[in-house]
Amino acid sequence: MSSQRQETVRRLTAPDIAARKGGVPIVCLTAYTAPVAEILDDHCDLLLVGDSVGMVVHGLPNTVGVTLDMMILHGQAVMRGSRKAMVVVDLPFGSYEGSAEMAYANAARVMKETGCNAVKVEAGPAVAENIDYLVKRGIPVMGHVGLRPQAVMVDGGFRAKGKTDHERARILDEARAAAESGAFAVVVEGVAEGLAREITGAIDVPTIGIGASAGCDGQILVTDDMLGLFDWTPKFVRRYGDLRGEITKAVAGYADDVRQRRFPGPAEIYFAKAG
Ligand code: KIV
Q: Which pLDDT tens digit goes with each residue over 82-122?
A: 999 999 999 999 999 999 999 999 999 999 999 999 999 99
Mean pLDDT (whole number) for 266-274: 94
Ligand 1: which residue has its CA nearest to atom 1? Answer: 50
- Ligand 1 centre and the CA of 243: distance in Å? 20
Q: Give yes or no for residue 2 having a pLDDT over 50.
A: no
The pLDDT value given to residue 3: 47
| The pLDDT of residue 208 is above 50 | yes
pLDDT for 6 equals 54
Rg (CA), the chain: 21
Ligand 1: residue of 40, 49, 51, 55 to mutate (most ligand atoms within 8 A of CB) is 51
What's the burial of 133, exposed, middle or buried (CB within 10 Å: 0-12/13-18/19+)?
Answer: buried
Pocket test for ligand 1, best of 66, 222, 229 (most atoms within 8 A of CB): 222
Least confident among 5-19, 78-92, 112-126, 236-250: 5-19
- Which residue's CA is the closest to the ligand 1 atom numbered 8? 50
Task: Check whether 189 has a pLDDT greater than 50.
Answer: yes
Q: How far is the CA of 52 from the centre of ligand 1 (A)?
A: 6
pLDDT for res 163 = 87
pLDDT grade, residue 160 (50/70/90)? Answer: confident
What is the per-residue pLDDT for 1? 43
Rounded Cα distance, 165 and 268, in Å: 64
* pLDDT for res 245: 98
Residue owning the nearest CA to atom 4 of ligand 1: 50
Q: How confident is the model at residue 275 (pLDDT cuts 50, 70, 90)?
A: confident
Mean pLDDT, the chain, integer? 95
Q: What is the pLDDT of residue 211?
A: 97
Closest ligand 1 atom to residue 90 Cα is 1
Give nearest CA residue, ligand 1 atom 3.
Answer: 50
> What is the pLDDT, as a whole number, of residue 7?
56
DSSP code of residue 260: T
- From the candidates 38, 167, 180, 189, give the one annotated as an active-site residue: 189
Sequence-separated (6 or more) residues with CB below 8 Å from residue 101: 133
101 as an active site residue: the answer is no
Q: Which domains does the chain show, CATH number per domain?
A: 14-241 (3.20.20.60)
Residue nearest to atom 2 of ligand 1 (CA): 50
- As a whole number, mean pLDDT of residues 70-78 equals 98
* Closest atom of ligand 1 relative to the 120 alpha carbon: 8
If one compares 161 and 68, the residue with the highest pLDDT of the two is 68
* Pocket lining for ligand 1, CB < 6 angstroms: 30, 48, 50-52, 90, 144, 187, 210, 220, 222
> Residue 9 above 90 pLDDT?
no
H-type helices in the chain, by residue range?
14-18, 34-41, 53-56, 68-81, 100-114, 128-136, 152-155, 165-180, 193-202, 223-226, 243-259
Per the omega criterion (within 30 degrees of 0), is the bond before 264 cis?
yes
Q: What is the mean pLDDT of residues 14-32?
A: 98
List the one residue out of 209, 206, 203, 207 whose CA is nearest residue 221: 209
Neighbours of 39 (CB within 10 A): 14
How many other CB atoms sit within 10 Å of the CB of residue 120?
A: 24
Q: What is the mean pLDDT of residues 187-216?
A: 98
Find the 189 Cα to ligand 1 centroid distance in Å. 9
Contacts of 7 (CB under 8 A, 6+ apart): 83
| Amino acid symbol at 148 | R
